[in-house]
A and B are shown apart, each in its own frame.
Chain A
Amino acid sequence: MTRRAPTRAAIYGVTVLAALATGAGAPRTASAEPPSRVVSLNLCADELLLRLARPEQIASVTFLSRDPKQSTVADLARDHPVNYGRAEDVLRFDPDLVVAGRYTTRTTVDFLRRNGETLLELDAPATLPQVEEQIRRLGEALGEPDRAQALADEIAAAFAEGDPIDDVARPTAVVFAPNGFTVGAGSLVDTIINAAGLRNLGAEQDLGSYRHLPLERLLALAPDVLILAATESAPARAYEVLHHPILSRLPSQPVIVRLSPRLWTCAGPEIARALSILRGAAAEARERET
């Protein structure tokens, strides 16, 4: 990194000069030409970009996208240079489109905006229509509307599967994540749980904004399905609560389903896989009931 600093600084200088020459501050107007040097600053943006764009359009994705524990596109990401979300990282690639997440790398995004880069910010959608709309929006920006529509349709089709379940027959479910956190209402995860025919007890509890669920309260909730959402790689104390001996002896004897959070952290096609895993758990819970 240090070794390359002078080179990067030089490129940085050149880019700033170029930006000044072309009128810094004014966003480049969208041309008919699709972007050819796209940089992504966010793992969820990576996942959509790698699926929607042509490989030669992609200048760089985040380092996170190569980690198979966190990313669903580690294979696709392997051939592209990575960045660490810093402004210098981005300028090095002289991008014509930067895709960022609404809540990450804020300093970099603010800098890029001042610098007049073309930015597309992705949100964290909570509903199926929002997921589809976001995919189409990125598809438009990349000049790949058909691919985007196909991807959105694929996700919508997965959600449309399965019979509608009346509320009385819904087994209850709770998400239990590292450090004892759970998932409440107004989130994509909650949408997926509901679509799977489950009732998310985490959405009905007053757990404050951090949604921390003490083990004692988890026991009192007595869910039919316990969703342990963790990909355990290297050791961390955060997982210890997921291995507490009490979880294997819960009096409600829930269906315990382990789910890798990478499937539902980002609003991409993998949420269909999370959905089908949860549908399986819901079916098992209903079977136990009868």
Chain B
Amino acid sequence: MVSHGGLLMLLATLTAALFAASLAVGYAPLDLGAATGDAFRGEETVQALVFVELRLPRAILGLLVGFTLGLAGAVMQGFLRNPLAEPGVVGVSGGAAFGAVLVFYSGLAALSPLILPAGGILAALLVGALLFAVAGRGMSTTTLILAGVAINSLAGALISLTLNLAPNPYAAMEIMFWLMGSLADRSFSHVWVALGPMVVGWVMLLSTARALDALSLGEATARTLGFDLRRVRAMVVGGVALSVGAATAVAGVIGFVGLIVPHLVRPLVGHRPGRLLIASGLSGASLTLAADVAVRLIPTRPELQLGVVTAIIGAPFLFSLVWRYRRVER
């Protein structure tokens, strides 16, 4: 068994490799060496522009969004002590998408670039607060999933309604983006608006690491160890809302990353929820970057939505988890 530091190094290397792969894959041949050379010399050649303005923001967003989803999934599973908790499954991502849709298509988002992530964050906060209030006194896996089904259905319906009511004929065709996510044609402006809230959200989520370790021994034990659980819950809800809300506002709903990744990494960290966080974030980034490379290699034009790939991997995974826990609960 590798040490925790060794594991993180390994996952960071994997993420870096997939980040490089994301930079290397695209729609026009690109000599990465020449492109970076031109970019560093400040020459605005086609190569340099494709690299700096198209490939780089896309890869960075893949990294940020993936890290967010992996981390948020690990924290939610740890805090709720529920193996199926994840921003997508419980409806936080769907709610965030609806918030972003509202501010974008009403024209509010045109007033300031910060309004779009704000819409996503606010809606994610509402859903998160609602969910965690219900989950306060312990929530069975089934109840959580059912609540998620209800919130997701409502969010999906409201997104469809809003986009069909929107006066622009293109709006209705954009339901796919919001429900299935994509990183196509994103620019650095998307990176900048989402980066701040995501990083603040990460800090909040990472600060819960020790409390999550204590919580694995039960709520009472965690309290006697001196953890203020209301404060921890506020950090979890706020951190998830900030990071997932901002991520969803620029990339749409990308499901299942936060579900799969913690389960894959958990055995490698000795089942300690606190140690799972960074490892899970890095793995989430790896999975998202890999999926984003895949959508560019699969020959559909315009390219496949990113959430389609993560759902194809994630939904069977969810099913296997449900199957496993169904046996346990009996």
- Residues of A in contact with B (beta carbons under 8 Å apart): 178-180, 207-208, 210, 212, 214-217, 219-220, 222, 233-241, 244-246, 249-251
Q: Is the CB of B302 within 8 A of A212?
A: yes
Question: Given contacts A179-B302, A246-B53, A249-B49, is CB(A236)–CB(B166) below 8 Å?
Answer: yes
Task: A214-B26, A235-B166, A236-B105 are known; give 16 further A-B pairs, CB within 8 A.
Answer: A180-B185, A180-B302, A214-B27, A215-B54, A216-B28, A216-B50, A217-B27, A219-B54, A234-B171, A235-B104, A235-B110, A238-B168, A238-B173, A245-B189, A246-B49, A249-B49
Bound-state CA distance A240–B28 (Å) is: 21
Most chain A beta-carbon neighbours within 10 Å: one of B26, B104, B302: B302
- Tally of chain B residues near chain A (CB < 8 A): 31
Q: Is the CB of A234 within 8 A of B107?
A: yes
- The verdict on B203 contacting chain A, using a C-beta distance below 8 Å, is no
Chain B residues with CB under 8 A of A210: 301-302
- The verdict on B167 contacting chain A, using a C-beta distance below 8 Å, is yes
CB distance from A252 to the nearest CB of B (A): 8
Chain B residues with CB under 8 A of A207: 301
Question: Given contacts A178-B170, A180-B185, A244-B187, is CB(A251)–CB(B302) below 8 Å?
Answer: no
Q: Is the CB of A234 within 8 A of B187?
A: no
Q: Is the CB of A237 within 8 A of B49?
A: no
Bound-state CA distance A254–B73 (Å) is: 46
Most chain B beta-carbon neighbours within 10 Å: one of A180, A210, A214, A217: A214
Chain B residues with CB under 8 A of A235: 104-107, 109-110, 166, 168, 171
- Residues of B in contact with A (beta carbons under 8 Å apart): 26-28, 30, 44-46, 49-50, 53-54, 104-107, 109-110, 166-168, 170-171, 173-174, 177, 185, 187-189, 301-302
Q: Is the CB of A236 within 8 A of B170?
A: yes
Chain B residues with CB under 8 A of A249: 44, 49, 53
Q: Is the CB of B301 within 8 A of A208?
A: yes
Interchain CB contact (< 8 A) of A222 among B46, B106, B168? B46
* Chain A interface, DSSP helix/strand/loop, else mixed: helix
Residue in chain A with minimal CB distance to B173: A238
Chain A residues with CB under 8 A of B104: 235, 237
Interchain CB contact (< 8 A) of A251 among B30, B49, B188? B49
Q: Is the CB of B177 within 8 A of A251?
A: no
Chain B residues with CB under 8 A of A246: 49, 53-54, 187
Q: Is the CB of B54 within 8 A of A245?
A: no
CB distance from B106 to the nearest CB of A (A): 8
CB distance from A74 to the nearest CB of B (A): 15
Bound-state CA distance A236–B50 (Å) is: 24
Chain B residues with CB under 8 A of A237: 104, 170, 174, 177
